[in-house]
Structure 1
């Protein structure tokens, strides 16, 4: 399906979300943020999907936030309608129930790197560059560049990008843990498909639970991850079924502690 500026295609058990604004190197504006959120919801709702891929159309993965989209905003509008809304969308992608692979077919800079950072696995083509250039514009990373990226990649590499303005090549990014696999130019999506298909052969329930456990262990999502794990566990019990049945039938529940 097409979803505004983000295309969603499902083949077998793999969904591909493609950011589609190639004439702007897939720079993000509000419409694209909304479309990314809707795409995440679509993938989440499809019970056939066991792995997902996020990529960009054309020569770029994402050049980050479109300056024309936010440059003229009032400070309060910038903080709420742009930064906080983007946070919600990126968090939605980061907490997809299925593993997410970013296929970096082009540069991932600023908000583009923050977008790549929501994925569980990053596969980059050898020609791409990665960085956080925001301070050169007098601003700061606003979509978890100093939060999620620090948790996932470590504070020092983020310091080098955000404070020092360093831009890394794909091989350098791999050596620093920013990407997991480097592939030849033009091969990011096919490599991501192969990796996603490997994931899709594994137990879907186990994948979902392991993803939640890793999020809790890394401190990214302690509260909601623990509650999701507990809720899934309790939902499988005979006690929950009995509790719901007793409520519907307006009678006292008889719990047996059955798992």
Structure 2
């Protein structure tokens, strides 16, 4: 992360990224509920940027959660995330800064995907724009039945610029991915489940927590081994 990009991100303050754990479950929380968890530059730095005095290492800490089998990615308050600050997106529109931001946020998404824990995105309220890229990197997406999910980048004249398009294609297929990226719909949770983007719907927070708890009921090591096995097959190494 260059000093120039870090300085720009730092000038867009607000919110934070929290990483906690309880029992077998780790939680990565977007914490800016007063703005529907809209991603500020400071929050993006919290994901793992390390430049000069900016020492935010949330994702570096993930490797210390070896006792957890599941990583829940969620938003505080009434929504998961309403995307990134529009003014910040405009500030990063130059080719050089855009390219660096792509590499940086792509590494964020790759860290979520490559974690040894099974990552579960809990969607509620709104999941818009760049937020759809964040949850695309998760292994499983579970949405409250009233959630609205918007692939809105085309409406702003941009493309998904954090690497989420590749994950989206792997989840719902090339044709469906191009359809939602070009038409920029706001989907209901049921519609998102119909195209395969959302894996499960839930009615209550208790129902979601019961599902998450069930994933490690047979042991954390077993839970993590299942993901490791699938990763090995995807990488063409069935022997691990």
TM-score band, normalised by shorter chain:
0.7 to 0.9
Cα distance, 1:65–1:11 mapped onto 2, change above 3 Å:
same
Q: How does 1:112-127 map to 2 (within 5 A)?
A: 112-127=131-146
1:202 Cα deviation from its structure 2 partner: 2.6
Which SS does the other structure have where 2:121 is aligned?
strand
Q: Over residues 28-55 of structure 1, what are the superposed CA-to-partner deviations in whole Å (9 max), with x where a residue is unaligned?
A: 2332223234333323212221211010
Between Structure 1 and Structure 2, which shows a larger proportion of strand residues? 2
Corresponding residue for residue 141 of structure 1: 160
Matched, 1:67 2:86: yes
Give the conservation status (yes or no) of the 8 Å contact 2:67–2:220.
no
Q: Number of residues paired by the alignment?
A: 217
CA distance in 2, matches of 1:22, 1:102: 17
Corresponding residue for residue 93 of structure 1: 112
Gaps of 5+ in 1: 231-259
1:15 Cα deviation from its structure 2 partner: 1.2
The two structures have a TM-score, normalised by structure 2, of 0.81
> Equivalent of 2:125, from 93, 106, 116?
106
Which SS does the other structure have where 1:210 is aligned?
helix
Gaps of 5+ in 2: 1-14, 49-56
CA distance in 2, matches of 1:52, 1:67: 28
Query: Larger radius of gyration, structure 1 or 2?
Result: 1
Corresponding residue for residue 54 of structure 2: none
CA distance in 2, matches of 1:206, 1:39: 25
Corresponding residue for residue 30 of structure 2: 19
CA distance in 1, matches of 2:113, 2:211: 18
Corresponding residue for residue 242 of structure 1: none
Give the conservation status (yes or no) of the 8 Å contact 2:69–2:224.
no
CA RMSD in angstroms, aligned pairs only? 2.2
Give the conservation status (yes or no) of the 8 Å contact 1:65–1:111.
yes
Matched, 1:214 2:230: yes
The two structures have a TM-score, normalised by structure 1, of 0.76
CA distance in 2, matches of 1:10, 1:20: 16
Which SS does the other structure have where 1:26 is aligned?
coil
